[in-house]
Amino acid sequence: MIVIIDYHMGNLRSVEKAVEWVGGEVIVSNDVDVIEEADKIILPGVGAFPNGMKNLMELGLVDVLKKQILVHHKPFLGICLGMQLLAKKSYEFGECIGLGLIDAEVVKFSFADQSLRVPHVGWSDICVLKESPFLDGIQTGDDFYFVHSYHMKNNNPKDVVATCRYGFEFTAAIQKDNMFATQFHPEKSQEKGLRLLSQFVMLGSKVNA
């Protein structure tokens, strides 16, 4: 069973439909007991980092997420805001502490080139940096759909499995042990996005840390 975390930050139904399409058994929930029974966990999200952290804390989901990821080593997929929340902190609307599961900060795009609009919206190619079970069948040059004004700056390059260029190279996907996350939206990325979600669905119930 795959649990999609409902922390009131949008686009849950589109992720649910996409995962079901590739054969996943899905429950959308913010019930701690349900999350503890999950085989895999997805944290999607659209919106501001501080609101996301506030909602996770108010719903009592921070501790259960950390336990399932770090102690039980359950496969975890973060999407867009769900990836950013893994970082130590963000500077969106001031400094805000994140889940701290990835050694990274989240910062706003800033360009001298005025032709580069913020937010970064649309289809962009990624560059695959290393092999990952989550990226099996995905290669450099494949394009995915992005919508974001902030991006992750990783302090540990080993965590970065794919990048994208928008003015400069930024982190497009990360993996650390059983944690995988994408800045892009696989549920909106047609064939390649569904391929990625299918790989997540087919993983064993645990990923060795």
What residues act catalytically? 80, 185, 187
What is the C-alpha R_g of the chain? 16
Partners of 173 in the β-ladder:
162, 182
d(CA 78, CA 85): 8
d(CA 17, CA 199): 16
Q: Which residues contact 187 (CB under 8 A, 6 or more apart)?
A: 11, 14, 15, 17, 18, 19, 44, 79, 193, 197
